[in-house]
Amino acid sequence: MYHPHTIFMKTETILRQRLICVAVLDQSDDAVPLAESLLAGGMSTMEVTFRTAAAADSIARIRKNLPAVSVGAGTLLTAEQVQRAVDAGAQFGVSPGLNEAVLAAACKNRMPFFPGVMTPTEVGRALELGWKHLKFFPAEAAGGVAMLKALAGPLAHTGVKFVPTGGIRAANLPDYLALPQVAAIGGSWMAERKLIAEKAWAKITALTAEAMKIIARTKS
């Protein structure tokens, strides 16, 4: 049995802003300009996915140059990737599924982590292993808000919180934020791969600012 309970406080801090930008970086030279663009729009939490060779270096550059940004590593599929992410300075980790070897590596490194779940069985196993902050993925394809409401019924007493990711945009962001079992949202629409490739930093800042205004309205 793993015991990630001691890193829950860090996890709550990471999720406080209620929105995490999920970014795919093909070139590490784009990492700092992207993080600066998000920060200019009011967002200080981002996830760099390990889908490209530039991921680890991108994380290291952001940590070195922008201490105000909390940067994590996503799409972590192996324990080796978890270690590479930690070595690069990642402050949290995310996986698309529930891989117990990955969770063991995260726990060993005292890394706040959000394992991916989609079914009640996966949620149950994650809870059994001690993890209560879970990525719900792929959110829209898996039933979205309606599915999260259905899961909440039999699981609300467990204290489980979800970070839905996949198919969420500004238009449906308020629907997810309204759910008490949703701790935060993972989204890529404000910094899509194409926008990064085009170095459309002003556009990314504008989309980020729009999203942060939506979040501010849900808190008021």
Q: Is 47 a catalytic residue?
A: yes
- Token pair recorded at residue 73: 């590593």
Q: Given 10, 36, 47, 122, which residue is catalytic?
A: 47
The Cα–Cα gap between 64 and 47 comes to 16
* Catalytic entry in 64, 100, 122, 135: 135
203 flagged as catalytic: no
Count of all residues that appear for the chain in the document: 220
Q: Which two tokens stand for residue 78?
A: 């192996």
CA distance 78 to 124: 21
**Residues 150, 169 contacting (CB under 8 angstroms):** no
Contacts 24+ apart (CB under 8 A), 212-219: 212/19, 212/41, 212/42, 212/43, 214/170, 214/173, 214/174, 214/177, 215/17, 215/18, 215/19, 215/173, 215/177, 217/174, 218/18, 218/174, 218/177, 218/178
Please list the active-site residues: 47, 135
